[in-house]
Amino acid sequence: MSYVISPAPIPAVPVAGSTDSFPVRRIYCVGRNYAAHAREMGSDPDREPPFFFCKPADAIVPATQGSATDVAYPPETANYHHEVELVVAIGKRGRNIAGSEACSHVWGYAVGFDMTRRDLQFALRDKGRPWELGKAFDQSAPIAPIVPASRSGHPTAGKIWLTVNGKLKQQGDLSDLIWSVPETIAHLSTYFELLPGDLIFTGTPEGVGPVVRGDLLAGGIDGLGELSIRIV
């Protein structure tokens, strides 16, 4: 059997401290998973069940080593936002995963940015339309190297932050997640069978805001390193 066109390359994220890579199958994202961010988006952060959206696997932009990674300012927006997030990398297949078993399905963790065309997202949201144009565009998922859970453990607390041109914009703590990583995996796996290669962006703390060409973004999570991108 031969393909009639060349198959697309497999999107992959480098593994921290290694020459190996983690191949990406799907990208799931959790909406509004920190109370203060839910409020700044105009929502009531009661503990309603988590909701999810997706990005295509090839939306990832793997970090380049030793310098900021170039990310192109996307078309059709005038309000392009940063969202720093804990990213979970799934390493074991499962559906209807119990919260108590969820960590055994996690291969590793990374710092990622859920870049967002906020003007489009809000316009779509207000019309009850899907979010793809606002969330699932090219280069919308820059991501730092994945740290194996065998090295990081399974973090339940720790600072998460983002600066723009050296100024602190977002700051939170993983302990402030409305839905923890195990709870998120438990919920998501009732809707989808999770497979090795899936990434889950777990939501962003408060302080999201716009960036423009030339801005330097740096984000980090205690114990998981940092991600630095330049908007070009």
As beta bridge partners, residue 230 has 70, 216
Work out how close the CB of 117 gets to Mn ion at its nearest, in angstroms, rounded to a whole number.
12
Work out how close the CB of 25 gets to Mn ion at its nearest, in angstroms, rounded to a whole number.
19
Among 83, 88, 146, 160, binds Mn ion (CB under 5 A): 83
**What is the separation, in whole angstroms, between the first and last Cα of the chain?**
41
Distances (CA, A) of 203 to 98, 137, 172, 214: 21, 17, 11, 25
Structure-derived torsion over alpha carbons of residues 188, 124, 209, 229, reported in degrees to the nearest 10: 70
Site string for Mn ion, 204-223 (x = CB under 5 A): x-------------------
Which residue in the shown chain puts its C-beta closest to Mn ion?
Answer: 114
- Taking the least distance from each CB to Mn ion, the nearer of 15 and 224 is 224
Among 91, 102, 114, 141, binds Mn ion (CB under 5 A): 114
Stretch touching Mn ion by CB under 5 A, among 82-90, 101-109, 146-154, 214-222: 82-90
Work out how close the CB of 28 gets to Mn ion at its nearest, in angstroms, rounded to a whole number.
11
Work out how close the CB of 146 gets to Mn ion at its nearest, in angstroms, rounded to a whole number.
18
In the complex, which residues of this chain contact Mn ion (CB under 5 A)? 83, 114, 204
